[in-house]
Amino acid sequence: MKTLPLIAWILLLLAAAVFRFADLDSRPLHADEATGARIAAKAMESGEFRFDPLHYHGPTLHRSGQVFAMAAGASDWGTLEIGPLRAVTALAGLLVCALPLLGVRKFGHGPMWLAAALLAVSPLMTYYSRMFIHEILLVLFGLAALSQAVLSKRFWPTGLWLGLMFATKESFVISLLAWAPAAVLTWALAGPGRMPVREIFRRYGKEFGIATLAGIVLAMAFYTDGFRHWQGAVDAVKTYFVYDTVDGHDKPFGWHFELLGIPEKRGGLWWWEGGILIMAVVALAGSFRRDAMPEKARHAVRFLALSFAGHLLIYSLFAYKTPWLMLLPWAHVCLLAGFAASLRVFHGSRGPWILGTASAVLIAWLGLQSWRACFRFPSEDRNRYAYVPTSPDLKDIDAWIAELDASQPELSIEPIGVIGAENYWPLPWYLRKYKLVGYWVEPPPSLERLPLVLATSDLTEVLSATHVPIPRGLRSGVMVTAWVRQDFWQSFVGSGS
List the beta strands (DSSP E) in 172-268: 264-266
Distance CA 153, CA 201 (A): 15
Task: Give the residue among 266, 212, 209, 215 at the shortest CA–CA distance from 380.
Answer: 266
Distance CA 101, CA 475 (A): 39
User: Of 343, 376, 409, which closes a domain?
Assistant: 376
Cβ atoms < 10 Å from Cβ of 300: 26
Task: Give the residue among 421, 193, 174, 446 at the shortest CA–CA distance from 318.
Answer: 174
Q: Please report, as a single letter, which amino acid is at residue 256.
A: H
Distance CA 307, CA 138 (A): 15
State pLDDT tens for residues 248-259. 788 999 999 999
Cβ atoms < 10 Å from Cβ of 434: 18
> Which of 126-130, 208-212, 234-238 has the largest mean confidence?
126-130
Q: Are residues 344 and 404 in the same domain?
A: no
Q: Please report, as a single letter, which amino acid is at residue 145.
A: A
Q: Are residues 409 and 363 in the same domain?
A: no
pLDDT at 363: 97
Task: Give the residue among 417, 460, 324 at the shortest CA–CA distance from 315.
Answer: 324
Residue 346 binned pLDDT confidence (cut-offs 50, 70, 90): confident
Query: Taking 70 as the threshold, does the pLDDT of residue 493 lie above it?
Result: yes
Q: Please report, as a single letter, which amino acid is at residue 69.
A: A
Helix or strand (DSSP H, E) at 439: strand 437-440
User: Of 376, 406, 425, which closes a domain?
Assistant: 376
Q: Are residues 360 and 441 in the same domain?
A: no
Whether 382 maps to a domain, the answer reads: no
Q: Are residues 280 and 421 in the same domain?
A: no
User: Of 324, 345, 376, which closes a domain?
Assistant: 376
Sheet with 478-485, strands from edge to edge, namely: 437-440, 416-419, 452-455, 478-485, 467-475
**Could you tell me the sign of the dihedral formed by the alpha carbons of 69, 74, 77, 82, in that order?**
negative
Query: Taking 60 as the threshold, does the pLDDT of residue 497 lie above it?
Result: no
Whether 148 maps to a domain, the answer reads: yes
Q: Are 328 and 307 in contact (CB under 8 A)?
A: no
Whether 381 maps to a domain, the answer reads: no
State pLDDT tens for residues 437-487. 999 988 988 898 999 999 988 899 889 999 999 998 888 778 899 999 998
Distance CA 299, CA 306 (A): 11
Task: Give the residue among 290, 291, 288, 284 at the shortest CA–CA distance from 340.
Answer: 284
pLDDT at 9: 95
Tell me which residue range forms the domain holding 415.
392-494
Q: Are residues 315 and 422 in the same domain?
A: no
Q: Are residues 323 and 435 in the same domain?
A: no
Q: How many residues does the chain have?
A: 497
Q: Are residues 361 and 432 in the same domain?
A: no
Whether 386 maps to a domain, the answer reads: no
Q: Are residues 347 and 400 in the same domain?
A: no
Whether 129 maps to a domain, the answer reads: yes
Q: Are residues 292 and 166 in the same domain?
A: yes
Q: Are residues 359 and 402 in the same domain?
A: no
pLDDT at 326: 96
Distance CA 478, CA 471 (A): 11
Whether 149 maps to a domain, the answer reads: yes
pLDDT at 496: 62
Tally of structural domains, the chain: 2
Distance CA 338, CA 205 (A): 32
State pLDDT tens for residues 286-307. 998 878 889 889 999 999 999 9
Whether 333 maps to a domain, the answer reads: yes
Q: Are 89 and 133 in contact (CB under 8 A)?
A: yes
pLDDT at 324: 96
Whether 135 maps to a domain, the answer reads: yes
Q: Are residues 96 and 212 in the same domain?
A: yes
Distance CA 358, CA 346 (A): 11
Pick the residue with more confidence: 398 or 19? 19
Instruction: Indicate the average pLDDT of the chain.
Output: 91
Q: Are residues 341 and 405 in the same domain?
A: no
